[in-house]
Amino acid sequence: MKWDLKGRAALVTGAGGGIGLAVALRLAGLGMDLVLCGRDLHKLERACAQAEKSGVRAVASAGDLTQAQAREACVELAEKSFGRLDVLVNNAGVAQSQPFDQVSEEDFDRILAINLKAPYFLTQRALGLLRRSEGASVLNIGSVVSHKGYPLQSAYAASKHGVLGFSKSLANELYQQGIRVHVICPGGVYTDMVKVARPDLSPEGLILPEDIADIAEFLLTHRSNAVVDEIQVHRCGKAPFA
């Protein structure tokens, strides 16, 4: 059964650009009201204006999601603005490209806080609202390094392995409550972050943010007896099943 998202509400992190923006605009096109979260208020307001062209409501919540008050503000804004939350998209993240023996404790803490701590505790804070939905979903954006370990990405890989592990446990806790947890693990996507994580990659042949939005739409609108827990995505120039 294709799940109708019109009139429902979603919270998307890292929504000022890249995958987050592409997913947010796709959800707006499907009729969802939006809370868009990130650090840059100007980018978020611009994203809201783009989303509202689809006839939905969109509000911005700017802040550092590693901090409890910013996570609280996002969820409170969803409840105040829409009275509901049906979809949570944990997308915000940062990359790292550095030899293992040069990664400082401060760098490690920052990467783990943004990529793992923030989605973990944002989901925890949003759970009360999600439980009130008749068909809630949590969509976590992992990475190819949720499974692999590339050179110069030790802290990033640790954080994204953590996202996948957290997602697996959360899915098993929530599925009997009707809340589905999905993970998308893409390879190189043409965003600013991939320029940091993989400066060796050419932009040609990279996955586009809109490709990830296609997959997000499929996962969130196909709410049948068949459940897809995780989708791994590689760029077309990379060998299949590598």
Identified catalytic residue from 150, 156, 175, 190: 156
Ordered DSSP codes for the chain: -BPP-TT-EEEEESTTSHHHHHHHHHHHHTT-EEEEEES-HHHHHHHHHHHHTTT--EEEEES-TTSHHHHHHHHHHHHHHHS---EEEE---------GGG--HHHHHHHHIIIIIHHHHHHHHHHHHHHTSSS-EEEEE--GGGT---TT-HHHHHHHHHHHHHHHHHHHHHGGGT-EEEEEEES-BSSHHHHHH-TTS-STTPBPHHHHHHHHHHHHHB-SS----EEEE--TTSPTT-
Active site residue 150: no
Q: Which residues are catalytic?
A: 156
